[in-house]
A and B are shown apart, each in its own frame.
Chain A
């Protein structure tokens, strides 16, 4: 089992330390006020906000100007949930119509993103036509765009014109030799360019674009895909450089490389990182800038809260039939946003019981939580598609990450397969010492105990941070944390 020991300076910098996700002390705490004002209601940027505010993506930009080894351009699949996958490609007019329909029906929606499939800036007409219409017709919606960065420098002025204040650049390398293992080729100045030369051009454009955006006061988040054996060590350097150039968040995401997705890496047998490897790298990159820990790597046409997808309610034929009065919707949206803000402020004031009198040398403990949202423990172990991982230490409770599972308990006829799915689920919880859920059956109970993970159903409907703090205290009182066990510390 691996446990990282959290030193006190890191605790300060990483926020989320005492209240987990409260808006006065969340992972955005280090940001200047003007940036926090821009992102406090952005579900992708704030661990707290994503329980309350929703986002949507529209797929208007199909073409791409580079090839990544983790991407398969055959993106039309309705059963998969991952970036680049989409079931409906929209024209700019359709995208605007869909956005207005979603914003009117889901007033919690604050953000519209264009993230492909393809590169939005390799499709400038479609992307900018969409932004132009939306900034006129729906001025209360924040606009964001994700790009590979190749065409970024030439697009910065246009982006600034449409008042887009968030751009995500995917930067997987700053060294062309590393880049060449990730990008086989780019389309540049009307030619295909391969290998190291291609990676060098791409990297130069990304860095130039990053600098141009921050100079204009446009927020930049950097996404990186962690590819074991390729860029895992290198991403620490990437993190350092993009921070120094003014990126406000760095989001390190795990490579998705199942062979059935048909990507080069998938077919060639490149593995993705284990949850613990990812977490260790995220910790190493944290430093003076916080890491995004709750990214769900959503579909390019996802609609709704993070972790849910209501896209089915807003297919083209369905929105065609909807009558939207956006003026009225805007009034209602403003009301809903105000009441969410009030609730968030209240949460921020309600500090959880920090385990103050616990020996500062007590070791930290990871716990897994089954939750359907709302910041409380409210899900049956067997129904969880993902677990939230929290760390309790004498410094407090903080959110670390989420880990996906195939939920094993689908009832009835699928139960024959239950056991192997259950053991896979338990495998994804490795490193955790307790799992907190609303209920749990006998069979998983026994298997969890055998794996050294303590099941706990006593804190159903309680706030996550409070329950984690309480369980940590019980462990302390039972003498389970007394000293740092040498074997558990990872150098």
Chain B
């Protein structure tokens, strides 16, 4: 099983135009990846394009069901440091 888009997808459209295999479709609840079409970008790019542009942590999972963009990976703030970062930003 290849990559999957899960329900935290916010339908932002970012992944759809960058897929080299035309494997991403708009569906009733959120975007989905057509398993039969997705190549996981092999032969085209070093990294899966959809997971490299998706802005939502956890919206795309790998074959093992793990988040391609785990919590903290996109905001740059590791989850255990959120409180400290918040305090620093509030002080502005």
Contacts and interface: CB of A to CB of B under 8 A. Distances in A.
B74 A185 contact: yes
B12 A64 contact: yes
A73 B89 contact: no
B74 A184 contact: yes
B21 interface: no
A445 interface: no
Given A191-B52, A192-B52, A265-B89, A63 B12 contact: yes
A389 to B, nearest CB: 25
A190 B45 CA distance: 7
Contacts of A194: 76
B52 to A, nearest CB: 4
Given A62-B12, A123-B17, A190 B49 contact: yes
A146 B23 CA distance: 29
Given A187-B18, A264-B75, A74 B53 contact: no
A192 B10 CA distance: 19
A264 B12 CA distance: 16
Contacts of A246: none
Contacts of A67: 55, 74
Given A62-B12, A191-B46, A191-B52, A269 B86 contact: yes
A5 interface: no
Which one of A185, A228, A230, A264 has the highest number of Cβ atoms from chain B below 10 Å of its Cβ? Answer: A185
A184 B75 contact: yes
Given A268-B90, A270-B89, A270-B92, A187 B10 contact: no
A187 B50 CA distance: 10
Contacts of B75: 184, 264
B12 A190 contact: no
Nearest to B16: A63
A376 to B, nearest CB: 40
Interface residues of B, number: 25
Contacts of A265: 89
Given A118-B13, A195-B76, A269 B90 contact: yes
Interface in B1-29: 10-14, 16-18
A63 B14 contact: yes
A122 B52 CA distance: 15
Interface in B33-92: 45-47, 49, 52-53, 55-56, 74-76, 85-86, 89-92
A65 interface: yes
A337 interface: no
Interface in A228-262: 228-230
Contacts of A227: 92
A271 interface: yes
Contacts of B52: 187, 190-192
A453 B89 CA distance: 34
B92 A187 contact: no
Nearest to A186: B53
B10 A74 contact: yes
5 contacts: A62-B13, A67-B55, A73-B55, A184-B74, A195-B76
Given A74-B10, A264-B75, 5 more contacts: A63-B18, A73-B55, A184-B76, A268-B89, A268-B90
Interface of B: 10-14, 16-18, 45-47, 49, 52-53, 55-56, 74-76, 85-86, 89-92
